[in-house]
Amino acid sequence: MQKSELRNRFHLSRRKITGLVLGLVCSLTAQAQNERMNNPEHEDKPYYFGISLGINTSQYKLSHSQYFIESDSVTNITPLWKPGFQLGIMGNLRLSGFVDLRACPSFVLREKGLRFSLPNDSTLTNSFESVLFSLPVEFKFKSDRQNNFRFYVCAGGKIDYDFNANARSKRADDLIKIKPVDYGYNLGLGFEFYYPNFIFAPEIKVSNGLGNTLLRNEGEPTNKAIDRITTRMIIFSIHIQG
């Protein structure tokens, strides 16, 4: 009963947050379309820079190994969503009127968790805190500018390096070991609101890893029960562009 109540509260809170974000975007859109055109010379800039501030939530995506199927050492593995934060700078190169190429090197603080269920009805929960340097390079496909408003989508690849990975750790009690280097892809959409001296751009993006970051460790049943681990992350960012 308590778990069901907590789940209902979580879904209600998520709906409220989604409603507030959509309401803010709609309000800013209406405001931008009704004002005189700001920053008109921005369309002629071959390149520009900006800063990026964001929050994220991330989770491991895993595949079970043959050991998990054949053994009863671990009965279930549940990935957990965890929150995080990131800060970066942006460089944007104009390729055409509707296509840009951009890079946004960032430092990312993120956390992921795994809950292992054991045969004696006990559980082991392990959280993995990462300090990443992430380098995404993306194509940005823009719509026509409507006065002080524009919509865009972006897609590209990324390389991540985790300074906090435990691949070289000698601790015997590490449930799993993770490699420091990962690569993957990003897909997102955003809105640009033009002001006299800057551009305000909220953006939501999915960032998924493609590489298997699991480092094989035959000593731990929790490690042997997993064949492959990749990361997935949802990012909400605010870009301030010059």
The torsion angles phi and psi of 50, rounded to 5 degrees, stand at -165, 180
Contact 185, 155 (CB under 8 A): yes
Distance in angstroms (rounded) separating the CA atoms of residues 131 and 201: 25
SS (HEC) of 128-151:
EEEEEEEEEEEEEEECCCECCEEE
Compare 12 and 184 and report the one with higher pLDDT. 184
- For residue 29, pLDDT over 90 is answered with no
- Say what the pLDDT of residue 120 is: 84
- For residue 172, pLDDT over 70 is answered with no
- For residue 241, pLDDT over 90 is answered with yes
Distance in angstroms (rounded) separating the CA atoms of residues 199 and 168: 43
Query: What's the number of CA atoms in the CB half-sphere (13 Å) around residue 97?
Result: 3
- For residue 4, pLDDT over 60 is answered with no
**In the structure, what pLDDT confidence band is assigned to residue 21 with cuts at 50, 70 and 90?**
low
Compare 13 and 187 and report the one with higher pLDDT. 187
- For residue 34, pLDDT over 90 is answered with no
Domains and CATH numbers, the chain: 35-241 (2.40.160.20)
Nearest to 166 by CA among 226, 126, 116, 108: 126
- For residue 160, pLDDT over 80 is answered with yes
Nearest to 188 by CA among 236, 133, 116, 223: 236
- Say what the pLDDT of residue 237 is: 97
- Say what the pLDDT of residue 121 is: 81
E-strand stretches of the chain: 47-64, 76-80, 82-94, 99-103, 106-117, 123-142, 149-162, 177-178, 181-194, 199-209, 214-215, 226-241
CB atoms near residue 59 (< 10 Å): 18
Contact 202, 189 (CB under 8 A): no
Mean pLDDT on 96-112: 95
**In the structure, what pLDDT confidence band is assigned to residue 43 with cuts at 50, 70 and 90?**
confident
Compare 131 and 221 and report the one with higher pLDDT. 131
**In the structure, what pLDDT confidence band is assigned to residue 52 with cuts at 50, 70 and 90?**
very high
- Say what the pLDDT of residue 1 is: 40
- pLDDT mean across residues, the chain: 84
- For residue 128, pLDDT over 50 is answered with yes
Compare 207 and 125 and report the one with higher pLDDT. 207
Distance in angstroms (rounded) separating the CA atoms of residues 211 and 123: 28
DSSP state of 120: T
Burial 125-162 (b: 16+ CB within 10 A, else e): eeebebebebbbebebebeebeebbbebbbebebebeb
- Say what the pLDDT of residue 149 is: 94
- Say what the pLDDT of residue 86 is: 97
When mean pLDDT is compared across 24-33, 87-96, 184-193, the lowest value belongs to 24-33
Nearest to 175 by CA among 82, 57, 58, 60: 60
Query: What's the number of CA atoms in the CB half-sphere (13 Å) around residue 176?
Result: 29
